[in-house]
Amino acid sequence: MITLHPIEGIPLVKAGDDVCGLILQASRERSFVFERGDVLVITQKIVSKADGLFVDLATVRPGARAQEIAAIHGGDPRYIEVILGESASVVVVRPNLLITQHVSGAVMANAGVDRSNVESPSGQEIVIVLPRDPDAAACHLLEAFRARLGFEIAIVLSDSWGRPWRLGTTGGALGAAGIATLRDLRGMPDLFGAPLRHSMQAVGDELAAAANLVMGQAAEAVPAVVVRGFAFEGGDAGARALQRPREQDVFR
């Protein structure tokens, strides 16, 4: 049986904080004990906060490209400039919509640059950006948990994403470590013995989406969830394995 266990009581994370230590302390205070084979899903936002990935818009000077996009998009040119700085390419620009490919390869709105759930001192406009290498960030956390727990778990860094053709957001795997995020089912028999031809299961995204039901997206303040009872395969390809290669992308 797969169960979800929210790690509640984690304080607001500040730059320089030890994310692993905060999660383990909160789990101990609530008598939750990690087990071998757990999958720990952590919202990327607390990782970005701990890494100090904040940008004060007052310090940003938008360039010509940001001004051009802002004229179409309708947003603050400084905000657009930050997005461009975190992007490898621009995919779509429309009024109130900017889709880019983040430098990590993930395609998303605004390169993941976010204003929500970010504390801004009076008079400041602070945004937060994603880790530039989310898989490396997940690996760093996995090493910290291995050292303190003494056994293997897996880490998924989650973010909330929109999807083409569907309304609403869902959790997705931005980074991962210690787990194969893509399960290749091709060649396995279906119910009637016929081999599957195209099926590949996005395990990382499914785990992130399940955890997102418990995390919430507003004031719930649950940035970490343990998924227990899921039999996963180890792997070191990270969440990058979930990214569709450009040559297979029929929409760009």
Give the 3-state secondary structure of residue 39. strand
pLDDT tens digits, 103-121: 999 999 999 998 876 776 6
Q: Are residues 197 and 147 in the same domain?
A: yes
Kindly state whether residue 193 falls inside one of the protein's structural domains.
Answer: yes
Tens of pLDDT, residue by residue over 27-40, are 999 999 999 999 99
Q: In this structure, is residue 250 part of a structural domain?
A: no
Range of the domain at 124: 54-128
What pLDDT is attached to residue 155?
98
Task: Give residue-wise pLDDT tens across range 67-90.
Answer: 999 999 999 999 999 999 999 999
CATH number at residue 122: 3.90.1660.10
Q: Are residues 204 and 181 in the same domain?
A: yes
The number of folded domains in the chain is 2
Helix axes 134-149, 19-29, angle to 10 degrees: 50
Q: Are residues 211 and 88 in the same domain?
A: no
Quick one: pLDDT band at residue 212, thresholds 50, 70, 90?
very high
For residue 146, the Cα-to-chain-centroid distance in whole angstroms is 21
Answer yes or no: is 164 within a domain.
yes
Contacts of 129 (CB under 8 A, 6+ apart): 48, 53, 55, 82, 86, 111, 112, 113, 114
Q: What is the enclosing helix (H) or strand (E) of 45? A: helix 44-50
> Of 102, 128, 154, which closes a domain?
128
Q: What's the pTM value of the predicted model, to 2 decimals?
A: 0.92
